[in-house]
Amino acid sequence: MISIIIATYNGAPTLARTLDAITHITAPDAGYEVIVVDNASTDNSQQIIRSFEDRLPLTYIHEERRGKAFALNSGIDSAKGDFLVFADDDILPDADWLRGYEGSAAAHPDQSFFAGQVRHHWDVPPPHWLERLGASGMSYAGTPEAREAGPVSYLAAKGPNMAVRKKALGAVRFRTEEGINYMGTGTGTGGVDSWFARDASDGTIWYAPDASVKHIVRDHQIGIKPVFKRYVRIGLTNYYAERDTDTLFKRRVLGLPVTVLGRLARSGAGGVYRLMRGDTEAAARRMLEFAMDWGRLKSWRTARNSVGKQP
The tens digit of pLDDT for each residue in 232-262 reads: 988 887 787 676 777 889 888 888 899 999 9
Flag whether pLDDT at 224 surpasses 90: no
Q: Which residues contact 286 (CB under 8 A, 6 or more apart)?
A: 267, 268, 270, 271, 274
Query: Each residue of 266-300: pLDDT tens digit?
Result: 999 999 989 888 898 899 889 989 998 999 999 88
pLDDT at 307: 52
Going by the DSSP 8-state scheme, the letter that residue 63 receives in this structure is -
Whether residue 223 is predicted with pLDDT greater than 90 in this model: the reply is no
pLDDT at 137 over 50: yes
In the prediction, which pLDDT does 202 show?
81
pTM above 0.85, yes or no: no
Q: Using DSSP, how many helices (H) and how many strands (E) does the chain show?
A: 11, 11
Longest dimension (CA), the chain: 65
Residue 62: band (very low, low, confident or very high) from pLDDT cuts 50, 70, 90: very high
Start-end of H helices in the chain: 12-22, 45-50, 68-78, 97-107, 128-135, 166-169, 192-199, 224-241, 245-249, 258-276, 280-304
What whole-number distance in Å separates Cα of residue 70 and Cα of residue 125?
35
Which pLDDT belongs to residue 182?
64
Encode pLDDT of 86-117 as tens digits: 999 999 999 999 999 999 999 999 999 999 99
Which pLDDT value is given to residue 75? Answer: 98
Cα separation of 44 and 67, whole Å?
A: 18
pLDDT score, position 304: 82
Share of the chain above pLDDT 90, in %: 68
CATH topology of domain 2-221: Spore Coat Polysaccharide Biosynthesis Protein SpsA; Chain A (3.90.550)
For residue 36, is pLDDT > 90? yes
The residue among 166, 159, 168, 112 whose CA lies nearest residue 140 is: 159
Spans of all domains in the chain:
2-221, 224-304
Q: Residue 179: which pLDDT band, with cuts at 50, 70 and 90?
A: low
Cα(224)–Cα(181) distance, rounded to whole angstroms?
Answer: 26
In the chain, the amino acid numbered 58 is L
H or E stretch including 32?
strand 32-38
